[in-house]
């Protein structure tokens, strides 16, 4: 008994317990991120019932910006250097303004589940940008993954509501994915300038400033929107747009980026499950097939390690 007590009270046991608790917190934070970003397409769908796409994007990020301001004030993040203001503006435009405007307009034409799958095609566009814009070497393997992924995206778009009811607005989801890939590529190249939280805060604030062009008419829509819709928009602004980013930063701090990113493949199934429960949207067989093709192509791109460039799955969210 004395030996057992010595083990339980010894530093080794305490250290193991601490490691287990740390791992559990990382797992819980990862699941929280997946749940938040899985809810995003459904939240957008509900928000569009009472809000114009531009108004929805603005209100969502006004909420997120206010929350980020509270966090930034409590942690006293550093002020941006004047020479970095153009960069932060560009990051905000692609990560927040263009991405979410295209996403909101596009989701009016596709289901929530299909939207979540199409957004996961971001790494495919990242590879294209690497080759055509940043002049990086892209192997034949990656070109094959890009081609396969775009075929899968086409299957999802055409199969979401049937070819006879094809809505071109669904292609805007791919514009949103492309916009996020531009942000991701630029952010990766300039991440050394600020810590993750500081970069996210200024990116969100800059993107929100661009969205202020949609301010006229927003107040009227807020008062006319049903309570259920306003609650959904509030959840969108607080959870997927703010808290999920903080949780993801915590995950990346305690886990390898590539390993953590693989968990985001659970986001589309989560989005489909949430949409089926809250909206009654069930994916067609063609969407399921296209989803498998898209996710398989992105997974293949990330599993094969190649130098000099590695493209992890983008932590997006919507």
Is 248 a member of any domain? yes
Most confident range, picked from 1-10, 161-170, 252-261: 252-261
| Cα(198)–Cα(245) distance, integer angstroms | 12
Judged against a pLDDT cut of 60, whether residue 108 lies above it is answered with yes
pLDDT of 305: 57
| Cα(308)–Cα(253) distance, integer angstroms | 23
248 to 177, 212, 228, 252: CA distances (angstroms): 19, 27, 27, 6
Residue 169, judged by CB atoms within 10 A of its CB (0-12, 13-18, 19+), counts as: middle
Is 309 a member of any domain? no
Is 51 a member of any domain? yes
Is 310 a member of any domain? no
Is 308 a member of any domain? no
Q: Which residue has the higher pLDDT, 18 or 21?
A: 21
Tens digits of residue pLDDT in 133-166: 777 777 888 888 888 888 888 888 777 765 545 5
What's the total number of domains in the chain? 1
Tens digits of residue pLDDT in 167-179: 677 789 889 989 9
Could you tell me if 293 and 145 are in contact, meaning their C-beta atoms sit under 8 angstroms apart?
A: no
Structure-derived torsion over alpha carbons of residues 190, 123, 277, 111, reported in degrees to the nearest 10: 110
Could you tell me if 251 and 318 are in contact, meaning their C-beta atoms sit under 8 angstroms apart?
A: no
pLDDT of 259: 64
Is 75 a member of any domain? yes
Is 62 a member of any domain? yes
Q: Checking phi first, is residue 99 left (phi over 0); if not, alpha (psi -120 to 50) or beta?
A: alpha
| Cα(275)–Cα(287) distance, integer angstroms | 14
- pTM attached to this predicted model: 0.81
Structural domain including 234 reads: 2-303
Of 7-16, 148-157, 165-174, 249-258, give the lowest mean pLDDT range: 7-16
Is 207 a member of any domain? yes
């Amino acid at each position: 008994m004395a030996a057992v007590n010595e083990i339980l009270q010894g530093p080794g046991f305490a250290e193991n317990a601490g490691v287990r608790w740390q791992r559990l917190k990382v797992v819980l934070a990862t699941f929280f991120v997946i749940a938040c970003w899985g809810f995003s397409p459904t939240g957008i769908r509900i928000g569009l019932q009472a809000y114009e796409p531009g108004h929805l994007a603005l209100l969502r990020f006004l909420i997120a910006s206010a929350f980020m301001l509270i966090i930034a004030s409590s942690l006293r993040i550093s002020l941006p250097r004047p020479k970095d203001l153009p960069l932060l503006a560009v990051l905000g435009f692609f990560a927040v303004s263009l991405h979410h405007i295209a996403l909101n307009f596009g989701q009016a034409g596709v289901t929530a589940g299909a939207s979540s799958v199409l957004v996961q095609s971001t790494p495919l566009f990242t590879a294209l940008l690497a080759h055509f814009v940043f002049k990086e070497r892209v192997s034949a393997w990656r070109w094959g993954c890009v081609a396969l992924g775009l075929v899968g995206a086409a299957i999802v778009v055409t199969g979401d509501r049937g070819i006879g009811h094809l809505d071109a607005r669904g292609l805007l989801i791919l514009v949103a994915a492309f916009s996020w890939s531009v942000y991701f590529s630029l952010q990766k190249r300039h991440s050394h300038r600020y810590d993750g939280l500081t970069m996210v805060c200024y990116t969100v604030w800059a993107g929100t400033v661009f969205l202020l062009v949609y301010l006229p008419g927003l107040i009227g829509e807020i008062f006319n929107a049903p309570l259920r819709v306003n609650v959904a928009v509030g959840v969108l602004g607080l959870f997927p747009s703010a808290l999920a980013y903080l949780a993801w930063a915590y995950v990346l701090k305690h886990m390898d980026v590539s390993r953590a990113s693989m968990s985001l493949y659970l986001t589309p199934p989560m989005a489909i499950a949430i949409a089926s429960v809250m909206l009654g949207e069930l994916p067609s067989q063609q969407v399921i097939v296209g989803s498998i093709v898209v996710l398989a192509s992105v997974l293949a791109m990330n599993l094969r390690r190649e130098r000099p460039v590695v493209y992890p799955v983008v932590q997006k969210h919507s």
